[in-house]
Chain A
Amino acid sequence: MLVELSLLKADPLLAIILIGGSIYIIILLMYLSFQMLRLLFKR
């Protein structure tokens, strides 16, 4: 693991940022692939 669990426990703000940021990376990647598909299949 890149970040130790003890660090996330010791710093809740950092934990929120890191977990939230990671979730958003996934959401944006999904959004991005959706946009790409739209671009590919739309005439």
Chain B
Amino acid sequence: MERITTIQLFTLIMIFEIGSTTLFAQGIGADRDAWIVILISYVIGLGLIWVFTQIPKYYPNKNFSEILTTTLGAKIAKPLLLLFGLYFLSQALHNFYEFGMLINMTALSKTPLLVILYLFIIVIIYILSLGVEVLARTAEILLPYLLLFLIITFIVNFFSETFELDNLLPVLGNGLKPVLAEVYDVVAFPFGEMVVFLMFWHYVNKPALIRKTTFLAVSLATILIMMNLIVMLAVLGPELTANTEIPLLETLLSINIANIITNLDSVAVFIMFFGGFFKTAIHFMGFCLAITWLFNGNKPEWCITIFGLLFPLMAIYRFSGIDDQRWKGSEGGIYSILLFSALPILLLIIIFLKKKNASKKEDTHVS
């Protein structure tokens, strides 16, 4: 069986969490206090991640389908697995279309969207059909570059003339209410999205270290997301950050250090592409694994190829433009993430009660 190391899991989670969050100004509804929203959501998000990482502790080395069947019985488990699969498909389509469109808008404006999407999906099909291990190793190789580019972005912005830390003041000027109103949004995206890793825990070679690795990766990713937001707010100010389509790109375009370091949009495209690539690939793999397990198979390659080739068509059929995609994502998508990250909480309580029931049964047998 394929195995991934804890370092590979760490890199996968880091890239996944940073993923598309660099594109948005998370919690910008709270204006200049958006970074506090991230901080509060992180604390709640850790609770969710504790739940996601507790499930494999009860059933180490069992995949998610086996855990569901053991806990709920096949009749309830199979439709639930299908629903999880559809949710992963929906998330994959969102990420896929969004990143394809953003690349179309920023770098390849004269190339038809369908061509970009097909080029994008062919790489994903190739990597995923080689297995989860290859995806994890790719993340391991690429994460240092992503981090390097992100940190360069922060440093260059910091020395740019447009960087004004005063844009973040006054802290909590409008009170806590707008901050708390934004929290559920950020808890869902990106922390609730971690629910997709339920499909991958059984691949980890040291199950005992899953929680530690995940907490570490999410914590580091949160620091980067927060720094990214602070840079956006300091450079663009809260109004422009809230109203710009891609704040990161605007931030990088505004950099001008002595007329030498300018036009850094290629850096933004790099960050966007890798983030989008891994988010799409992980969600798509989650969907393919769910469908394969649903039919008691163990080789997702066919599913990856068939659905992969249909994927760009599905994305274009589902979304009519970036505004449509963002409307569907922000209005309904957030609720779907919250719903599917709440299901494992119930699942965990059921597992706990069942284990307790079983141990009580054993006790009565002994006495």
Residues of chain A whose beta carbon lies under 8 Å from any beta carbon of chain B: 2-4, 7-8, 10-11, 13-14, 16-18, 20-22, 24-25, 27-29, 31-32, 35-36, 38-39, 42-43
Contacts and interface: CB of A to CB of B under 8 A. Distances in A.
A35 B83 contact: no
Contacts of B360: 39, 42
A7 B325 CA distance: 11
3 shortest interchain CB distances as A-B pairs: A21-B339, A28-B346, A35-B353
B335 A31 contact: no
B284 to A, nearest CB: 14
B332 A3 contact: yes
Contacts of B331: 3-4, 7
Contact of A22 (B339, B346, B347, B364): B339
Name, among A24, A25, A39, the residue most crowded by chain B CB atoms within 10 Å (CB to CB).
Answer: A24
A7 B356 CA distance: 42
Interface of B: 72, 76, 79-80, 83, 86-87, 89-90, 93, 318, 324, 327-328, 331-333, 335-336, 339-340, 342-343, 346-347, 349-350, 353-354, 356-357, 360-361, 364
* A interface: dominant SS: helix
Nearest to B324: A10
Nearest to B89: A13
20 contacts: A2-B335, A3-B331, A7-B327, A10-B324, A11-B318, A11-B332, A14-B336, A17-B87, A17-B336, A20-B83, A21-B343, A22-B339, A24-B343, A29-B346, A31-B72, A31-B76, A32-B350, A35-B350, A35-B357, A38-B357
A18 B328 contact: no
Contacts, number: 83
A8 B332 CA distance: 8
Contact of B340 (A13, A21, A31, A36): A21
Contacts of B87: 17, 21
Contacts of A17: 83, 86-87, 90, 336, 339-340
B83 A24 contact: yes
Contacts of A14: 90, 328, 332-333, 336
Given A17-B83, A20-B83, A35-B357, 10 more contacts: A8-B332, A13-B86, A18-B332, A20-B79, A20-B86, A21-B339, A21-B343, A25-B343, A28-B346, A28-B350
Nearest to B345: A28
Nearest to A15: B332
Contacts of B357: 35, 38-39, 42
A19 to B, nearest CB: 10
A32 to B, nearest CB: 6
Nearest to B339: A21
Given A3-B332, A24-B80, A35 B354 contact: yes
A25 B342 contact: yes
A28 B319 CA distance: 32
A39 to B, nearest CB: 6
Contacts of B364: 43
A4 B328 CA distance: 10
B76 A13 contact: no
A36 B324 CA distance: 44
Nearest to B82: A20
Contacts of A13: 86, 89-90, 93, 318
Given A32-B353, A39-B357, A18 B335 contact: yes
A17 B338 CA distance: 12
